[in-house]
Amino acid sequence: MFMELLRKRRSIRSFDQSPIEEEKIDLLVEALLRSPTSKGRHPWEFVLVTDPDIIANLASVKPKGAGFLARAPLCIVICGDPGVSDVWVEDCAVAATIVQLAAEDLGLGSCWSQIRRRQHQTGVSSSSVVRHQLGLPEHLEVASIIGIGYPLATIAAHGANDFADDKIHRNTYRNR
């Protein structure tokens, strides 16, 4: 079942405006909280946003690659605390992957927007803009924002020929 989930998951950037049921949001929260972290330190924090005005603001935190968030009925802001773990970035990335797979399993679409190390049009970091918009404490960094909703259209799965098999090596580099 897991491989089938991976095979059909695609990045979805267009959502219908149906709200996501609370039961499904609860399952997404459970998936986030079950995400593995290095040494069980849990350096992440998550902000679930359903307010359309706040979502519209989040969609403008960087010049490219966040606009689709404006059409998502749910955005999950994934934050990390560098003071808790030196691998907070990796732990946040794992949580982002887990929640996107959980969304797919629930019949929802999702797409990831990187915020960490991106700039707002004013020249300040996108993470700082999100921190200000959401009232996050200074010690948290924003890693990414995941837009989630019911897809407007079905996107065909990637075919087996779409993969970069040249990225796979066996035992030593360049040994195919």
97-118: per-residue pLDDT in tens? Answer: 999 999 999 999 999 999 999 9
**pLDDT 10s digits, 125-158:** 999 999 999 999 999 999 999 999 999 977 777 7
Q: Determine phi and psi for 132, rounding to 5 degrees.
A: -65, -45
Q: Please name the helix (run of DSSP H) or strand (run of DSSP E) that holds residue 176, with its range, or none.
A: none
The pLDDT score that the predictor gives to residue 153 is 79
Q: Where are the domains of the chain?
A: 2-167
Question: Which residues contact residue 133 at a Cβ distance below 8 angstroms, ignoring those fewer than 6 apart?
Answer: 54, 57, 58, 61
Q: Give me the residues paired with residue 114 across strands.
A: 144
pLDDT digits (tens, 9 = 90+) for 72-95: 999 999 999 999 999 999 999 999
Examine the pLDDT at 164 and tell me if it is beyond 80. no
| Residue 45 parent element (H or E) | strand 44-49
State the Cα–Cα distance between residues 70 and 86, nearest whole angstrom: 32
Contact (Cβ atoms closer than 8 angstroms) between residue 43 and residue 80: yes
Cα–Cα dist 56/66, whole Å: 10
Judge whether residue 175 has pLDDT over 90.
no
Q: Which CATH superfamily is domain 2-167 in?
A: NADH Oxidase (3.40.109.10)
pLDDT tens digits along 29-87? 999 999 999 999 999 999 999 999 999 999 999 989 999 999 999 999 999 999 999 99
